[in-house]
Each structure stands twice: as C-alpha cells, then as structure tokens.
Structure 1
Amino acid sequence: MQERYDAGAIEQKWQAHWEKTGAFKAEMDPSRPKYYLLEMFPYPSGRIHMGHVRNYSIGDVVARFKALQGFNVLHPMGWDAFGMPAENAAIQHGTHPARWTWENIDNMRSQLRKMGLSYDWSREFATCDEEYYRWEQLIFLRMLERGLAYKKSSTVNWCPTCRTVLANEQVEDDCCWRCDSEVEGKELEQWFFKITDYAQELLDEIDNLKGWPDSVLTMQRNWIGRSVGCEINFPLEGSEKSIRVFTTRQDTLYGATFMSLAPEHPMAAELVTAEHEQEVAAFIAKVRKQDKNKRTADDYEKEGVFTGSYCVNPVSGRRMPVFLANFVLMDYGTGAVMAVPTHDQRDFEFARKYDLPLVVVIQPEGDALVPEQMEAAWTGSGRLVNSDRFDGLDNEAAKEQIADYLTAEGIGKATVNFRLRDWGVSRQRYWGTPIPIIYCDDCGTVPVPEKDLPVVLPQDVELTGEGGSPLARTESFTAVPCPQCGKTARRETDTFDTFVESSWYFARYASPREQEAPLDKEQVKYWLPVDQYIGGVEHAVMHLLYARFFTKILRDLKFVEGGFNEPFTNLLTQGMVCMETRSCPEHGWLYPEQVADGKCSQCGQPAVVGRTEKMSKSKMNVVDPDHLIARYGADTARLFSLFAAPPEKDLEWNEQGVEGCYRFLNRVWRAVFDHVELLRQAGEPEDLPGAPRDLRRQTHRTIKKVTEDVDGRFHFNTAIAAIMELVNAIYAFKQAQQAPGVMKEALETVVRLLNPFVPHIAAELWCCLGHDEELNSLGWPAWDEAALVEEQKQIVVQVNGKVRGKVLVAADADQASVEQAALKEDNVARFLEGKTVRKVIVVPGRLVNVVAN
C-alpha cells in the first residue's frame, strides 16, 4: 500500500475495472427485488457543470446503497438531444446540429465516466437517434387513431427570435424561456395532444403520489385547476350566435351587467363594429405585450375596450355590452366572463372605471348593500335578491337549483372546468422529431404508414438563421408520394416539442434495444415504475406532468401492461449549486480563477464580491468539474457535493469545504496505512471492557445511523458526519495493539460505509486491507444490537429542580441503585446537608430529582 493517497491513479484503476467487468450492467431477474433509480437526463450542452455533479452524485449514492442492500438496480443514462440550442449553435458556428450534438455527447460522457457513476452504459441512447424517435412517431400515429392527437388553428405563443411556438409553460414573464425575447400572439395551424381527456385522472392520482414533495403536488393541482360550475349561453343581440361562459358563481347570474372577453377570444374580431375597429386593434396589440400572470393579478390595472356589440342576460333579459378586458384569459374557462361587478372585485373595479351598471343580487346579514354606496364588491355569503324565483335562498344552496333551472331551460348546464389546456406540440424548427404526416391536395391529411417509419430527419438541410423551419425549404424531404393516391404530396415540416421525447424516455430504458415495438412489455412490467426519480423542481409542471400523461397514453394504447399508471413512485427535487459572484469595475464579471488575492488578475483592481447566486456561465460564478476532479479527484468532488448541504437544499460553494473533504479522505487513507499490517493479521473483535468496547459501540452506532440516514431519508450530510466522528474515534483509540480485532472492525466499517459516497478510495482501501472479495459484492453492513448496549449511563441529579451533579450508573441499574448513587454524589450531598429528603423522583435513564426541605 502506498503511503500517499493518489486519487487520480486510484480512480482510473477502478473505473477501468468496473467497465471491464460490467459491474453495473442490469438484467431482469424476477427472483430479485428491483430498484430503478433515475436522474433526469441532461441536455448535451458540451460540458457538465456542478449541478450535474451534485445531482448525479446524489443518485449514485442511492443506486449503490440499494445494490448493496441486495436490490437488482437499474441505473441508466442517456441524452435529451433534440432542441433549439443545437440548431442555434449550428447556425452560429457553421456546423450541423447532429455533429454539434454528438460531439457534445462524447465529451460529456467522458466527463461523467470520470465521476465513477454506476451507470449501465449499455442502455445509453440519445433522443435524436432515429431508433428512438421512430417509436415516438408510432405512438403519435396511434394517438391520432384514438383522437388523442389533432390539428387545429389557434393563437399560439410565438417567439420572434427562435421563430417557433412555445407552450404556455415555456413562457416566463411574457418572454421566451430560452432567449428572453418578448413573446407574441400568432394564429397558426398546430398539432395538439389531448391531455385534457386525462385531466381528472391526472388530478385524482396526485393523491397516490405519497413519495413526491408536497410543493410539486400543489403546483400540479393548481396547473390542472379543477373548478365546478356551469356553462351558460348569452345570446348575441342581432345574431343567432351566443357567447358561452363558464362560471363557478351561477348564484350571481341575475347580477351580470356586462360581458368581458379575452382579447385573444376567437369571436373578438366579429364582435367589433366599424366605429370601434381602430380602438380595439390598438388595445389587442397592447395586451399581447402584457404578461399573462400579471394581467390576472389583483393589483394590476383593469383595462378594457367596448366592441360595439351587445349580448343578453338569459335569465334577466338585461342588454349587456361586450368588452374586451385585459384580465380575462383564453387559458381559463371559455375566455369569456359574465361580469357581476357587485360580487367580483375585478368586475367592480372595471365597472367603476367604465361607468357600467351595478346590481346587487346577494344581500349579507345586517346592513343592506346599496350599489351607489359600495366601495368594494361583496364576495361573501348571503341571501339572493333581485333574482326572480330564487329570491330569499341562501346563495350556496341556490347554486344547485340555478344549475338545474339552466339545464331545464336549455340555457346552460352544470359542468366541470379545468385550467389545463391541450398540449400544443408543433415546433417550427429543424432539430426535432419529424411529425409523420403527409398533406395531399386530394386526400387531405394522411398519416405516414407505420411500415414507412421512421420519417428520418434529413441531413442535407441549409441552416440560414433566417427563421422558420429549414425543412420547409428542403424539397428532397417535403416532396413525397401520397400513401393513398400516389400523387405528389408534401410532408409536414413541423417537428415535435422536445418535451415529447422526455415524456417517455424513462420507459424506453427498460428495453432500449427493442426492435419490434416502443417497449418490451415484460421488461417494463419488471422494471417500471421508476422507484426514485431525481431532478430539479423547475420541471414540476412541464416535464413531470407530461410524463404522467404519456404513461397513461402508453397504457391505453396497450404498449405496456401490469398496472403501470404512474411513472415515478418517489421524487427528490435537489437544490441548486450557488456561489458568490465577483466582478471588476473595468472587466465585468470574473471567473474564480481570474481573481487572485481578492483582485482582478487582469488589471489588479479589487474584485467586487456580489451576492451568492445559482452558478451561471453568464455571471461566471462557476467551477469547472474537470479542474476540480483533476486537482482533488472525483471522490472529493462527490463527497463535498453530498456533505455541504441536504440534497433538497441549495448548496453554497465553499473552497475550504472542498479542501476539508480532501483532507478527510487523506485522513482515512492514513488511518488504514498506519495499521494495515496489524489489521491484516487481526481476527474477530475482542470482547474487552473500556476503550475497546466504547469503540465497538460507536462502530455499530455509526452503521445504524448511516443506514437510517441514507435509506429513504437521503440525509447524506449527517450520515457522512457520523462517519467522520467514527474516524475521529479511531484516531483517539490507543489500544490497537491490545484489541486489533476491534480496530479492524472499525476501519473496515468506515470503508464499507463510505463506499456509496466515495467508491474509488473505498474499493482501493478494501484491497489494501487484504481482501480478495470485492467490496461491492459484500452487501451493506448490519449493526449488532448487543454492541449498542451501553455499560454505563450518565444520570443528571437535581435537588429541588436545580442541577447539582451527575453520576455514572450501570446501564441496567435498578431504581434503588440509581437513588443511592445520586444521594451519595458529593455536591448533591452538600446541598442536602441539614435538610430532610421528602421524595426522590427517578426518570429512568435520564435524571433524578431529590425533593428536600
């Protein structure tokens, strides 16, 4: 055994060994319990960052721990490889997205291998591989057959810079989530997935996701947004058409005095009269630039414009002016709101601003509401007034009766509404999965026959950066015979939203080389669902909701069997890696290596220390994992990312913390080196009193602590802290020559407990201790309950409730012995001089309180 800890050599040795022996290759084995551990797969941007290091280290600890517990572990890795960044980079650098992507994958794979992660690399795939997306195209065709995929014209979120459609979830503060350009509204023909058909099931099964964080479940509930109410038709004046609204407040129907429509409402254009055209057009243009979330905020100014048209309240007969209003969205209900200004605050503010009538229809107990005197809407309970046959009813009780009346009169009906909208999946970009559709002038929209799949993304495209999809300009791709009539037709040139690929990849890992279907049913039945999923909370709505939806699609299309209804049993959302920013007045943001002795290395000016923020290349507060691994080794990088903070919390980068972890590993190495010859000859731990028994007790206490902290709780930081305390005890132990077996057990326990966290040094030290059997084949250590029993316990002694001393008693001492020891303690006896003991209260194992006067 070498005296010096050489992390680089050790890590290369063991990584090569694990690869050669296929140490982490997973095979289906029905005789063993399975455990599927998965981290969200990365986008191949070119280099891993510290967020990757932390995320994958967390996952690797769990995967290795479960394997040591005897589970058949599946721990795969792949690449979320399609998307706009590759296309934009290709345009910027004059290369092809495929080349850029595959080069990045090669580089990142090499980086991940240096971390010693226990991946089954034989299952690796990239979503840009046609052997992956061919099955995605098949799933789409089957969805099309079932009516779960369809095309319609709609107003979409359009990024003018990326020149593509964005899902609602991809619009942040009215800007594109990728490039921060202001998003516009645009009318386009788009393909949609009918996720709304599964809204109720998606909502109901949230209650079964016991292993998910409550915050994520709340976000999903809110996004699905179930509301119970009524759909009501308001006839348009001078037309046979009507405006359909959804409301949860049908009890206020008689108080509706005007109609508010979303500016994006499809009827908006036809409702505008000639004299109002210019004013309405300006208003719509203005609202399109407003953030949707802000538009609905209580403190946002309510604005609108009169269209010139009127509708009729179907129960009161009131003539109601139709307005476009900025606080009404197409994303909720029908995009039309019956305005009841006396009982809705937004309507109240709007009515006051535009001098619209108010009618009270709910009177609370006490003083009667007078519209002209109201300073705010009354949104509480009360009894109905001005509501014809329903006058006098409690407003909550009236809801059901009014719903029945609307149904009977053919005016409306009770219904359930969801905030969730169908998923628009068309993207006007090249680097994505082609949508397998052909358009024929005679036959219309024709699905590509399944035998002709995959529709392969062509390589001979010209990426000009002029916007729009280059596929539309590539005749070799677009011109194709119609599968039905044989005449010249044209392919669909939109590609799928990249969230489609990431919505089912976890299932493909079960059988990534399957050639006859998207999934091997037997493999899926064994491996799925994922037992533990790990990733960022930023995916709480988009990716996780879509993955749940796709799981139900795969089930209903009969691609899977065996009750596979939800993709992820447990979910861990890890925190971010953060670091202080540093900047120079002259040179701007500085990388850590550009700061020396607190000064800018370029000009010598003092560096300005900024806030601790998420590591970001834009602010240069990043640490290159390659440099970290080259200097300290992968085990140190892993240990710091696991020890510095609980996994669900943000981790603040600390160079001293990294150094501390490196010193600790050197300390463990030194402890083994100093005793290796003695330990190789040692036998079973000796049953000796005093310090040997204390060390053995701490050894087994540490096994118990680490096991409980790691298993399901993921308290890696406290588990590592417990191992560090055991190492301190080993250094303090001075009887190794007298009790070599105890020392051997303690050091071997340290190595075995460290194995999931720092697998390279653990594997090497195990060999150094003279073992032929590999560490990973041993299983997880068990603690001995008998060894945990303490010989003595320290008992606090109080006199009249105040601490006056402490005594050591046998762990199994009876109450009389404890009392006797307490009364004999010198300081206690001093405080009892001249007093009569009235009572002695013993709390077993903890304290004695002597009551005396």
Structure 2
Amino acid sequence: MQHNWIGRSEGAQVNFKLDKHTGSFSNLDVFTTRPDTLFGASFVAISAHHPLASYLAKENPKLAKFIADCDALGTSEAAIEQAEKRGFNTELHVHHPLINSKKLPVYIANFVLMDYGTGAIFGCPAHDQRDLDFARKYNLTVTEVVCPEGEEAETFLVEDVAYTGPGTIINSGEWNGLNIEEAKNVAIKEIEAISAGTKKVTFRLRDWGVSRQRYWGCPIPIIHCSDCGIVPVPEKDLPVVLPDDVEFGESGNPLDTHPTWKQVACPKCGADSVRETDTFDTFFESSWYYLRFVDPMSDKAFNAEKAAYWMPVDQYIGGVEHAVLHLLYSRFFTRALSDVGYLDLDEPFAGLMTQGMVCHQSFKSSDGQWLFPNEVRKTDNGFVSVGDNLPVQAGRVEKMSKSKRNVVDPEEIIKSYGADTARLFMLSDSPPDRDLEWTEAGVEGSFRFISKIFKLSSETPTRPDRKISSEDLETFSKDALDLLKIAHRSVTIINENIERFAFNKCVAQLHILVNALSSFKQAGEDSDRIKHHVLELLAQMLAPFAPHIAEELWFNLGNTELVSTSPWPYVFEELLNDDMIEVAVQVNGKVRVKLNLPVDLPKQEAEAAALSTEEVKKYMSGREIKRVIVVPNRIINVVG
C-alpha cells in the first residue's frame, strides 16, 4: 500500500505546443508512463484545476459551471473512477510533437487529477479504458498502436475494451515491430532529440501539512520576529508548554486569542515577538512515540543508546487505515533521524500485522429502516421482523457499524455464552488479518466446544502421585501413546501458529486434541495419569485463547497456582518422531482448511477432527451431512 501511495512512476514529460497563445500559455506539458503509444494519441485532456482551465473559466460561464460540477464529484480516485467520464471542449488544439500535420483537441476532463503528473494527459483510447470511454462518447479517433501476439496488425481492432497488455508496436512509423519497452526508450530519445520532452520520474506522494489551528496538540516551537523572521525556539526552552487558562467557545484558535501566551522575546535579538499558535497534527507526534517509550523518564526527546538496544519494535499490530499515514510517517521520521546521526536504525518496525474487521449481515425493514440483528429472525421463506413478522430485506455482510445497526452487543453475548465463547469464536473462524463474519451458528459452535471441555473438566481424574516422564513411554499401550503423540504434537503446532498469528489453526488443533481425549477409553492407573497429563497440557494451551475455562480446568486438576503463571508446556521429543501429515479438508469438493493429523489416523478420528472445525461448520451452513469420504493421509471430503 505504501508503494502505491508513494507512486513512483517512470516515463516521459512531453511538450505539446498550443496552436495559438492563450494568455500566458504557449504549450501543455504532459507526463506519461506510455510514451510508446504517442502515435495513438487522439486528444489532450487537462484537469478541471489546471491553471489553463482556471484561466479559460474566467471568460466562460459554461466552463465555470462544468468545473463546479467536477468539484461536486469529489477528488478521491474512487469517486472519479466510478463517475461517468465527462469533458468540456476548449476549442483549443495542440500540435502532435512527432506528426507535423496532426493537431489534437484539448478537453477539460473530470477524470484527470491535478495532483498526479502535470495535471494533463494525452489520450490514447485504444490502450487505456478511460480514454476509450471518453473517445467513444465524444466521437474521437481510436488508433491501435500495440498489437497482441497472435493478432494480425492489419485486422486488429479495439472495440469496447481497451488493449493494455504486451505486444508489438504498429501504426507508428519507424517504431513498428518494436516491443513496448523498446518503443518507450526510442520514444524518449526522439522527443529529447527535438526538444519536445524528456525522461521523467514522478511520485503520487503529496506534501504533508502538519499544522492545525487548535489547542489540543503539541505547540510548534517557532517564534516570529519582525526583524529576524522565523526563529526556532532554543533547545533550552523546550518543550513549549500550553497555557491552562484558555477560553473555549469563541471561534478561532484559542491560542491565538490568549492575551499573553504568544507574547515572547526573540531568542536572537530580544525584540518583542510572537509564538507560532498552530499546533502539530497528532500524526506528527505519533510518528516517533516508540523512541520515547524506550526511556520515558529521559530528560531528552529520546535516549539514543537505549533506542539502539530496544529498537526496532518487534511487532506492530494495527488497522490497515494506518498503513499509508502513520506507518509511512514513522518510517520517514526514523530514516530522517538516522540520516542526521541521532539513530543507527533504518526501519522502526520489524513486523506488521493488520487486523481484519468484524462483519455482520445488515437488515432493513419494509419501510427502509435499519434493524439490529436481534430484531430479525429467519424463517423458511427468508427474514421477518421480531414481533410483527413483517418481511425484512437482507443486505450484504459488511463491517459492523452503528449507522447500519449490524452490530452485536458484547454484553448480551457474554451473558448468554460467556466471554471465552466470544473469544474462541473470533479466533477460530478466520485468521486475524482477514475479516470475520459474526454468525449465531458460529458462536453456538464455540459454546458447544467449551461445554465439551467443561464436561472433561468435571470428569477429571484425581491428581496422580507421580507425573508422567519420558521414561514411562515404553510401558504405555498404543492407544495411550497415540493420545500422547497428539497432545505433544499439539504443543508444537500451537507454538508455531502463535508465532504466525494463525490463531484459527491453534483452535483447530485444540479441537483435534479434545476429540482424541474424548475418545480415549482406556481404564486403569496409567490411563488416569495419561488423562491428567493431557488435560494439564490442554489447560496450558487453552489459556491464551479461553483463559476462564482454562483456569477452571487447571484448578480441577489439583493445581493451586494460576495456569497463566505456569511455564509453557514442554514436549517429549520422543513423541514427535512419528510423522504428522497435513490433510486437506474439503466441503463438497472445495478445500476449506488443512489439518495436521497423525499418520494413519483411524478414519473415524480423522472424520471427527474434520467435522469439529469451524470452517466445515461454516460452509455446511446447517445442511445435513450425507457422507464423509476419508482418503487416509490425504483428503477428507464432507459431502452435504
């Protein structure tokens, strides 16, 4: 995302001379990444905010209204992309730089952005979809100049879809037969040779305005002196402290209207001067907070020695909305501080994980009002409102928002199912970096799993006099060893998946272990020791995901300390020697999840492991399971 936001583009800046001087304008500079398509140009378009457009609008009310309509559309790329392509013919023309006899009409177009390139483009309709839509609307020429492989140059035509792929240059004089990259290089050399342009690199990155006209922010440490100009506040006077006695309620910046705070002597000449009353954008300060945290009591901005020890931050977790602002600024600050010698560090964050959103289906009543999920119930014929049974329109599954009322009250979930159920469901349904669809069926599935664990907890064997050690393994039965292998392999799998933030796979492995433990029927003293050992492992592995039920299980096993304070479980390496195998689980022939299962796991246990996963439950959507096909060590296919 940062790569796209910075938007480095290599291409050429081409000079198109106007056929007549217009005000102070004699030419239009156009940046293009496709100089190879110059022979396909049929028009030039400028942004509604281009200086030439502003000049022409002064004497043309129709153009002024067109520009106002463009402003109403919005300036975001998404809004512009979705809008109908519209243009205003200026009646001006430019000379084609490579074809002496050819002139191109100049339009003002609503899809040209002023803050990209020069705010002007040349349109090559055959090889750009927006240009093609525009050309068809205004009956402009479409000239194909790139021919796909396998097509004949004489017969290749672009109709409704522009061709943007690779190919061979055609209809372009001496460039014919070149590939696109070769033609780009030749085009740049030719326009440079006739002083009609040059090679150019541009960026989409915009300037960052860091000042805000408000009280709550870090003061900008600048003093304005009528004699010395702009003077930085001396380091000994930092930080600049905000006044406590400001008056809110009046319009404008309260720092600017404060009677004394901004009055200060110039640090250079001592003359009466004024402080800068704007404050920094909060993003400015959050761009380096991690450096302050390495030593928050330091009397300097940050302790470089401790920063060298602690930095970079091992793992950053945050929403995707910060990817092109906060995180980009943080990287800029870090590199700037490194360049001037304050830091020996290039990147502030070693790892990044952006979490997904919690989503829910939205609902509307027959009169168009949004409804909460608990105001709707499902019937055989669709959805109806609770109470009056009126038809309800089901909308998309989308991000939870108060405005659309597709939200779930956490207190109701906790009251009905407990906090551990909510935690387990949110972790088990999908990886944390993807969106999660909140469903009642999914919550109930997690509740059943916790109930199963609680039942195991209530049937806990008494604490054995002697714990299991690796020396005991030779004396155990095959069934006992199989259970222990699953338990100790689970520790390893969950270890690995916690490191990868694959919490859904951790929960899936816990399901496998609980199913194996539930089906273990061996009786006797050794079996009680084995069950107790496996249940302790289960409690320790469960604790990060469902801490309350884990503590209950841990206590029932005879432990007096909290499971959260116990060491992470160790594994018997001897139990890991037998290979585990990754088995694909399908629902109606489509792979929905992959499980790590013991080699040659009995079909009944493999089937149980697959049916316990949230993915299978989700994609079955309550349908009856007709059969389960188990191909040992390879595939489990659930058919419904």
Q: TM-score, normalised by structure 2?
A: 0.72
Give the direction of change, closer, same or farther, for the CA distance of 1:437–1:785 in structure 2 (3 Å limit): same
> Match of 2:468?
684
Structure of greater relative contact order (alpha carbons < 8 Å, 6+ residues apart):
1
Q: CA deviation at 1:690?
A: 4.8
Are the equivalent residues in 1 in contact too, given 2:48–2:54 (CA < 8 A)?
no
**Corresponding residue SS for 1:553:** helix
The one-letter amino acid of 2:503's match is: F
Q: CA deviation at 1:330?
A: 1.4
Q: C-alpha offsets along residues 249-279 of structure 1, whole Å, 9 cap, x if unaligned?
A: 3345577675422121245434x286x4323
2:238 equivalent to 1:453: yes
> Match of 2:284?
500
2:11 equivalent to 1:229: yes
The one-letter amino acid of 1:447's match is: P
2:333 equivalent to 1:550: yes
**Corresponding residue SS for 1:500:** helix
Q: CA deviation at 1:587?
A: 11
Equivalent pairs counted in the alignment come to: 564
Give the direction of change, closer, same or farther, for the CA distance of 1:584–1:682 in structure 2 (3 Å limit): farther
Q: CA deviation at 1:753?
A: 1.2
> Match of 1:643?
428
Q: CA deviation at 1:516?
A: 0.8
- Of 241, 263, 266 in structure 1, the residue corresponding to residue 48 of structure 2 is 263
> Match of 1:701?
489
- Of 201, 207, 210 in structure 2, the residue corresponding to residue 425 of structure 1 is 210
Question: Structure 1: which 5+ residue stretches go unaligned?
Answer: 1-218, 792-810, 813-844, 848-853
- Of 86, 107, 123 in structure 2, the residue corresponding to residue 302 of structure 1 is 86
Are the equivalent residues in 1 in contact too, given 2:147–2:156 (CA < 8 A)?
no
2:501 equivalent to 1:717: no
User: What are the residue-to-residue correspondences of 1:375-774 with 2, within 5 Å?
Assistant: 381-383=168-170, 385=172, 394=178, 396=180, 397-408=182-193, 410-464=195-249, 469-517=253-301, 519-561=302-344, 564-581=345-362, 588-591=369-372, 608=392, 610-611=394-395, 612-626=397-411, 628-629=413-414, 633-655=418-440, 657-658=442-443, 661-662=446-447, 664-665=449-450, 667-669=452-454, 671-675=456-460, 678-684=462-468, 686=472, 687-712=475-500, 714-731=501-518, 732-763=520-551, 765-766=553-554, 769-771=557-559
Q: CA deviation at 1:288?
A: 0.9
Q: C-alpha offsets along residues 231-264 of structure 1, whole Å, 9 cap, x if unaligned?
A: 2344565458653321233345577675422121
> Match of 1:5?
none
User: What are the residue-to-residue correspondences of 1:6-25 with 2, within 5 Å?
Assistant: none
**Corresponding residue SS for 2:116:** coil
Mapped partners of 1:591, 1:711: distance in 2: 37
Q: CA deviation at 1:287?
A: 0.9
- Of 268, 274, 284 in structure 1, the residue corresponding to residue 67 of structure 2 is 284
Q: C-alpha offsets along residues 84-113 of structure 1, whole Å, 9 cap, x if unaligned?
A: xxxxxxxxxxxxxxxxxxxxxxxxxxxxxx
Q: C-alpha offsets along residues 514-562 of structure 1, whole Å, 9 cap, x if unaligned?
A: 3312x3333333333333333333444334333333332332243321x
Q: C-alpha offsets along residues 563-603 of structure 1, whole Å, 9 cap, x if unaligned?
A: x32333333333222234456668944556667999978x7
Are the equivalent residues in 2 in contact too, given 1:360–1:369 (CA < 8 A)?
no
> Match of 1:212?
none
Mapped partners of 2:368, 2:73: distance in 1: 35
C-alpha RMSD of the superposition: 4.5
Q: CA deviation at 1:750?
A: 0.9
Q: C-alpha offsets along residues 832-853 of structure 1, whole Å, 9 cap, x if unaligned?
A: xxxxxxxxxxxxx989xxxxxx
Q: CA deviation at 1:329?
A: 0.8
Are the equivalent residues in 1 in contact too, given 2:10–2:201 (CA < 8 A)?
yes
The one-letter amino acid of 2:189's match is: D
Are the equivalent residues in 2 in contact too, given 1:384–1:395 (CA < 8 A)?
no
Q: CA deviation at 1:303?
A: 0.9
Give the direction of change, closer, same or farther, for the CA distance of 1:321–1:483 in structure 2 (3 Å limit): farther
Q: C-alpha offsets along residues 463-513 of structure 1, whole Å, 9 cap, x if unaligned?
A: 5486x6454444545554444444454444444343334433344433333
Mapped partners of 1:590, 1:723: distance in 2: 36
Give the direction of change, closer, same or farther, for the CA distance of 1:295–1:720 in structure 2 (3 Å limit): closer
Are the equivalent residues in 2 in contact too, given 1:448–1:483 (CA < 8 A)?
yes
Mapped partners of 1:580, 1:341: distance in 2: 41
Mapped partners of 1:360, 1:637: distance in 2: 58
Q: C-alpha offsets along residues 154-191 of structure 1, whole Å, 9 cap, x if unaligned?
A: xxxxxxxxxxxxxxxxxxxxxxxxxxxxxxxxxxxxxx
The one-letter amino acid of 1:225's match is: G
Mapped partners of 2:197, 2:336: distance in 1: 32
Q: C-alpha offsets along residues 776-823 of structure 1, whole Å, 9 cap, x if unaligned?
A: 5654323334335779xxxxxxxxxxxxxxxxxxx99xxxxxxxxxxx
Mapped partners of 1:751, 1:618: distance in 2: 40
**Corresponding residue SS for 1:567:** coil
Q: CA deviation at 1:756?
A: 2.0
Mapped partners of 2:25, 2:113: distance in 1: 25
Q: C-alpha offsets along residues 749-776 of structure 1, whole Å, 9 cap, x if unaligned?
A: 1112112223355356545545567645
Percent of aligned pairs with the same amino acid: 43
Mapped partners of 1:734, 1:360: distance in 2: 77
